[in-house]
Amino acid sequence: MSTIQVTINKKAAKSSLASKKSSWSSRIINLFFCALSILLIIPLILVISISFTDEKTLLQHGYHLLPEKFSLEAYSLIFKSPGVLLNAYGITILVTVIGTVIGLFLTSLTAYTISRKDYRYRKPMTLYVFFTTLFSGGLVPFYIMVTQYLHLKDTMWALIVPYLLSPFYILVMKGFLDKIPLEVIESGKIDGASEWRIFFTIVLPLSLPALVTIGLFISFQYWNDWWLGLLFIDDQKLVPLQLMLYRVMSTIEYLSNNMSTVNVSIDMTQFPSLSARMAMAVLAAGPMMIVFPMLQRFFISGLTVGSVKG
């Protein structure tokens, strides 16, 4: 009995030591990610603080995490002409919603096709999708195709069509759909379901975390894009939010650096150039900062789930 007791005590001591090591390692990892989160949040807080700080205070005392002298001058200046801002918001929201819905549908449909183990051309199609991630046709052929062949210049579709399908998102979605057992699909066929019904009623509900994750990626891409607008949009009524922000910041910087040579009616010494830029950044990023926390649970599970749970 004593030998057994000694053995049990040794095992208990080893288990206790292992649990202590595990506890300390968990604490260190948690502290590391807490510090990393703080470092990521500080720039955002600084941007918001600058947008609410008086311009003269910024020039005299520099940037601070809390406004030394609170001011709404930058926001009041931006909202003096709300029509342009609201129009840009409307274009960006419309492009993001339409592009995300259509892009998510096409991405999931393509990924589902090449993930089916009973699809004869599964490997060649996967290779074809992967090949496009390595090589690009170039900017000039891309511009010619959109303007001369698709005739999308100065239309809202010029901001939507180029981002509808991304090979990277297709491959990520395929990796998730590969985990769905073929028996689930075959059981749907036995019950008389068509391929479309299997896709909409079985595959998509099982893929909800992956759909939300890819949908967030696609929506962020549309929301933050200004490049397509710069290439294809000359009509001021179709200018998206990020392109308007880019133009405003470029104009402010140009006027600030060339006050002596440019004849303008605005006194740039009294213009809140620094705080106005940050206020525009806050207004441009605001909606996405609200949407992301709401979908964070699905986003995390979409990145970590590796199999279908029964």
The more confident residue out of 140 and 82 is 140
The contacts of residue 278 (CB under 8 Å, 6+ apart) are 47, 48, 50, 51, 74
Please, which pLDDT band fits residue 6 given cuts at 50, 70 and 90?
A: very low
What would the DSSP string read from start to end of 74-87? HHHHHTTSHHHHHH
**290-299 per-residue burial string, b: 16 or more CB within 10 A, e: under 16:** eeeeeeeebb
pLDDT at 242: 85
pLDDT tens, position by position, 54-103: 777 777 777 777 787 887 777 777 777 777 778 888 898 899 999 999 99
The more confident residue out of 200 and 302 is 200
pLDDT tens, position by position, 106-124: 999 999 999 888 888 888 8
pLDDT at 305: 47
Instruction: Report the CATH number of the 73-304 domain.
Output: 1.10.3720.10
> How many C-beta atoms surround the C-beta of residue 187 within 10 A?
13
Mean pLDDT along residues 231-255: 80
Mean pLDDT estimate for the chain: 78
Mean pLDDT along residues 127-141: 85
* Domain range summary for the chain, segments of one domain joined by +: 73-304
- Distance between CA atoms of residues 24 and 153, nearest Å: 59
Asked if the model's pLDDT at residue 9 lies above 60, the reply is no
Its pTM stands at 0.74
Q: Which helix (H) or strand (E) holds 157?
A: none
- Ranked by mean pLDDT, the top range of 13-22, 31-40, 154-163, 267-276 is 154-163
Mean pLDDT along residues 146-169: 90
pLDDT at 70: 81
pLDDT at 159: 92
Please, which pLDDT band fits residue 33 given cuts at 50, 70 and 90?
A: confident
Asked if the model's pLDDT at residue 133 lies above 60, the reply is yes
pLDDT-above-70 percentage for the chain:
77
> How many C-beta atoms surround the C-beta of residue 6 within 10 A?
10
Asked if the model's pLDDT at residue 252 lies above 70, the reply is no
